[in-house]
Amino acid sequence: MEDRTPSQTPSSRSEPGPGEQPGAGGGLDRRRFVTGAIAAAGAVAAAGALGSGTAQAAVPAAARRAPRAPRAAAGRRVAIFGGGMGGLSTAHELAERGFQVTVYERKAWGGKCRSMPVPGTGSGGRQDLPAEHGFRFFPGFYQNLPDTMSRIPLPGGGKAFDNLVAGDQVAAFYKGTKFTLPARGSIIGTLSPDSLLAFLQTALNVAGAVPVLEVGYFLQKMIAFVTSGPKRRYQQWENMSFSQFVHAEKMSKAYNELLVEMFTGTLVAAKPDKANAHTMGLMAEAWVYSTLGLGGYKAPDRLLDAPTNEALIDPWVAYLESLGVTFQSDATLTRLDVQDKKISGAQVTGASGTSAVDADYYVLAVPVERAVPLLNDQILAVDPSLRSLRELTTDWMNGIMIYLRQPIDLAKGHVAYAGQPWALTSISQAQFWKEKFGTTYGNGQVNECLSIDLSAWDKPGILYGKAAKDCTSEQIFKEVVAQIRRALPWNGIILNDANIHSYFIDPAITGNGTPQVANDEPLLINRPSSWNHRPEAATAVPNLFLASDYVRADINLATMEGANEAGRKAANAILDASGAGGTPAKLFKLYQPNEFKGFFDDDDRRFDRGEANFFDLYDPAKP
């Protein structure tokens, strides 16, 4: 995702509390800014925001050998449990500051951020077909992760950051109609005619599908959010669902399908009645500013130019090894021991048995569903606030790859299939990859990977009337194809049977079509009031730290960016606890325009008086 301008100066805290002013940037005439923001917000209201994702696989040891840095001084031994985005980010920041770091991972380096090979699919000197837990999405408002990528050297020169490429558009298909938004360029300043026409065309198309008054209402709610002060964001919008925020129950089916459900399902793999309005509004706001080119944000829709392991994870692990980081795979954390109110040791288990871990500092960088069982009564006695992690919720958002003999023209960017029960989004990978797909991967017959995220696993499909969780692998594949065809123009002509070579479902889903179906890698969902249950990276246990996407972060969403930010916060907390000193890891704030400070201050006062936001003019729930 991306980095920032001087107006987004790194800070030691990444999120504002209630009543604090978020970060700001300036330099743009207020009236002109509001005009541009409304235009972009209207486009977002019309077409929604797309994407999300994660994922990756084990790194061959031979590809990771590099000179080791000197051993760290006594008192600087760090054990990190979890080799996903949070764990690797913590290791990165600490290793660059001279700490002795060991990372323990139960499954695969990169965690949900990895790509993975489809076993046995490569021939003729080609690699196995690539797959992912979920396609990669690096919005323009990501800052922490791109900063990390800019410090990861590539074997042939350059940095991992150089592997980011931008899409030209984001698109949604709804009942045979394509809705697009430009994802390059900027409408900042004079509002270029081409960009403005593109936004207006999208708005007109949406107005043809959704009642005009409802489109206007959705736009009004987006404007109300972006002009809300921190008090309303953290004390009102945080505590209600997105459905409540936009009064989904009062609106038409098209309003819910094209605006509400597509927006929440594709952006955060959540259902609108479960995702909180604060998180959803924050993502819409950041997308608008990225589209406007404000705050130093980059192109709104970015992805990698190769499978995630090749472009990011493999070179990252190699770089960390060159800094002296030790990696231990097949190592599942099974116990944390406590003595004198500190972690006195840990236990990891793998195929070769159980071994003890001794360190000065311990970092829990595993997902929330794995962290909760590890927080035993002794730990909770020292830090009772960690009990609130039990209140956090996960849901399923996993990938299915459909391999095509020839590419199909859907969009030069991420795509959503609105109105489909399984909340599908996709990216056509080959058009963005630097190596020619057909000569690099597979058996020579495959020239495209349509990488699809399936976000609603508990809704009935259109072929079998069953939820994805209840379907066999073959039924899931057929349902996904049928739902995509129903959204596209000309139904099955674009995605026809003759062009489909094969498919692959994320192996984290097991027991498909049986009562034992399970998901080994679910995704954290930001439900109403979830902010109040999320911890900081430092705990009351003086040598235990947290580095996962449930840690409070300015991005306020379970993403690669959020996990990277959590890793930076954990590293900074260890720097403080150790007394090592030095420059802390940078923490970037999301952009907030200086021009809106008056709106924020006024809205805080209105909130204190019990009044609605100034732009929250119409409530369809009232007569």
462 touches 483 (CB < 8 A): yes
* 150 DSSP assignment: T
Q: How far apart are CA 142 and CA 226, in angstroms?
A: 18
Across 252-270, average pLDDT? 75
Give the CATH number, domain containing residue 421. Answer: 3.30.9
pLDDT band at 63 (very low <50, low <70, confident <90, very high): very low
Picking from 468, 490, 519, the residue at the C-terminal end of a domain is 519
Number of domains in the chain: 3
Task: Let me know whether 185 and 295 are in one domain.
Answer: yes
> In this structure, is residue 223 part of a structural domain?
yes
> In this structure, is residue 384 part of a structural domain?
yes
Across 133-162, average pLDDT? 94
Task: Let me know whether 74 and 189 are in one domain.
Answer: no
Task: Let me know whether 203 and 342 are in one domain.
Answer: no
> In this structure, is residue 142 part of a structural domain?
no
Q: Which helix (H) or strand (E) holds 333?
A: strand 332-339
> In this structure, is residue 32 part of a structural domain?
yes
Task: Let me know whether 191 and 274 are in one domain.
Answer: yes
Task: Let me know whether 193 and 334 are in one domain.
Answer: no
The average confidence (pLDDT) of the chain is 85
Q: Which helix (H) or strand (E) holds 326?
A: strand 326-328
The whole-number pLDDT of residue 19 equals 38
Picking from 472, 492, 519, the residue at the C-terminal end of a domain is 519
Question: What does the pLDDT look like over 29-55, one tens digit per residue?
Answer: 443 444 444 444 444 443 333 333 333
The whole-number pLDDT of residue 453 equals 93
Q: How far apart are CA 520 and CA 114, in angstroms?
A: 14
Q: Collapse the DSSP code of 158 into the 3-class scheme (helix H, G, I; strand E, B; otherwise coil) and give the result.
A: coil
Domain containing 423 equals: 398-519
Between residues 621 and 163, the one the model is more confident about: 163
Backbone angles phi, psi at 93, to 5 degrees: -65, -40
Among 318-327, 439-448, 482-491, 544-553, which stretch is predicted with the lowest mean pLDDT? Answer: 482-491
Q: How far apart are CA 128 and CA 131, in angstroms?
A: 9
Question: What does the pLDDT look like over 203-232, one tens digit per residue?
Answer: 656 667 788 888 889 989 999 999 999 999
The whole-number pLDDT of residue 197 equals 57
> In this structure, is residue 17 part of a structural domain?
no
330 touches 351 (CB < 8 A): yes
Residue 56 has pLDDT above 70, yes or no: no
Across 534-547, average pLDDT? 98
Residue 343 has pLDDT above 90, yes or no: yes
Q: How far apart are CA 468 and CA 461, in angstroms?
A: 7
Task: Let me know whether 176 and 34 are in one domain.
Answer: yes
Question: What does the pLDDT look like over 553-565, one tens digit per residue?
Answer: 999 999 999 999 9
Task: Let me know whether 172 and 291 are in one domain.
Answer: yes
Tokens of 453: 């995220």
Task: Let me know whether 40 and 185 are in one domain.
Answer: yes
Q: How far apart are CA 78 and CA 27, in angstroms?
A: 43
Across 88-96, average pLDDT? 98
Measure CA 182 to chain center. Answer: 21
Across 153-181, average pLDDT? 90
Residue 338 has pLDDT above 50, yes or no: yes
Task: Let me know whether 192 and 277 are in one domain.
Answer: yes
Residue 394 has pLDDT above 80, yes or no: yes
Give the CATH number, domain containing residue 324. Answer: 3.50.50.60
> In this structure, is residue 324 part of a structural domain?
yes
Among 8-12, 126-130, 142-146, 184-188, which stretch is predicted with the lowest mean pLDDT? Answer: 8-12
> In this structure, is residue 355 part of a structural domain?
yes
Task: Let me know whether 172 and 296 are in one domain.
Answer: yes
Task: Let me know whether 321 and 367 are in one domain.
Answer: yes
**pTM of this prediction?**
0.88
Question: What does the pLDDT look like over 405-424, one tens digit per residue?
Answer: 999 999 998 999 989 999 99
Task: Let me know whether 506 and 549 are in one domain.
Answer: no
Across 105-109, average pLDDT? 97
Q: How far apart are CA 264 and CA 276, in angstroms?
A: 10
> In this structure, is residue 149 part of a structural domain?
no
